[in-house]
Amino acid sequence: MTYVEGFVVAVPTANKEEYERHAAEMAPFLKEFGVTRMVENWGDDVPDGKVTDFKGAVQATEDETVVFAWFEYPDKATRDAANQKMMADPRMKEMGANMPFDGKRMIFAGFNGIVEEGAANETGYVDGFVVPVPEGNREAYRAMAAKAAPVFQEYGATRVVEAWGDDVPDGKVTDYKRATKAEQGENVVYSFIEWPSKEARNAGWEKVMADERMKPDHDNMPFDGKRMFWGGFSPIVDA
C-alpha cells in the first residue's frame, strides 16, 4: 500500500504563483528520488475549528493560505532512501534556501497507508483531514474508514486514502502532535479524498451526509472528533 509523506504549510497568499512555480520546479527532482506522485493543494474551503484547525496547525496569519500537500512512494524503504538522497543533493539545498514560505512552521511526517480505494490520477479537488487516534483503536479506525470509502466513491469521489502515522517527528515550532493536541498513546492519521471537481465534491458530500450508512455512532467513535480538522483544497500541482 502507498507510503505517504504528508505536509501542511502556511504560505503568504501573495506568494501563490511563486509557490506554485517552486513546487513545479521540484517535481522532476523528486521523481529522480523515487516519488511516484506529488500533489500540492491550495486552501479553498478551510474552516475555523473550535479546538483545532488547519490554520492553527501551522500558525497561519490573516495574510497566509494553508497548503495541504503530499508525496507518494511505493513503500517506506523507497521513501527513506529518497530522503537520504535529497538531503545530500546540492540542488535540493539550493531550492530549500529559496522557499516562498516559512519553513519553520511547515509540518511533515511519514504515514503508512491503511485504506486506499481508487486510482491515483489527476485530481480536481481534495478534502484533507488530520485526526488523532488512540494506538489501540488502529483496527477500529481502519475498519470504519474502509466501510466509508466505497460510499464516498459511490457519490463521486475518485480516490480515498487513509494513512497511519509512522514517522511523526517533533518540531521546534509546530508539528502534527501539537496540531491535533495528541495525547500520550495517540497517533496521527493523515487522509484525503480526491474528487473530479469542487462541484462534484459539494454534491457528493450532500449525498454522503444524507446516507444512513454514514450516520456516526457517537458511542463507539474510535477517535475524538473535536480534535479532527479538515478542509477543502484546490490542486495547483499534480505531478
Q: For the whole model, what pTM was predicted?
A: 0.96
pLDDT at 162: 98
Domain range for 218? 3-238
What is d(CA 99, CA 22) in angstroms, rounded to the nearest whole number? 7
pLDDT at 94: 76
Bridge partner residues of 161 (DSSP): 116, 192
pLDDT at 227: 97
C-alpha cell, 6: 504528508
C-alpha cell, 20: 506554485
What is d(CA 215, CA 152) in angstroms, rounded to the nearest whole number? 13
3-state secondary structure the chain: CCEEEEEEEEEEHHHHHHHHHHHHHHHHHHHHCCCCEEEEEEEEECCCCCCCCHHHHCCCCCCEEEEEEEEEECCHHHHHHHHHHHHHCHHHHHHHCCCCCCHHHCEEEEEEEEEEEECCCCCCEEEEEEEEEEHHHHHHHHHHHHHHHHHHHHCCCCEEEEEEEEECCCCCCCCHHHHCCCCCCEEEEEEEEEECCHHHHHHHHHHHHHCHHHCCCHHHCCCCHHHCEEEEEEEEEEC
CATH number for position 70: 3.30.70.100
C-alpha cell, 152: 464516498
What is the per-residue pLDDT across 94-145, written as a single tens digit (0 to 9) for each?
777 788 999 999 999 999 999 999 999 889 999 999 999 999 999 999 999 9
pLDDT at 232: 98
pLDDT at 143: 97
pLDDT at 108: 97
Structural domain total, the chain:
1
Give the chain's residues under pLDDT 50: none
pLDDT at 93: 75
pLDDT at 89: 85
Q: Which of 211, 231, 238 is nearest to 40 (CA)?
A: 238
Backbone dihedral region for residue 34 (phi beyond 0: left; psi -120 to 50: alpha; all else: beta): left
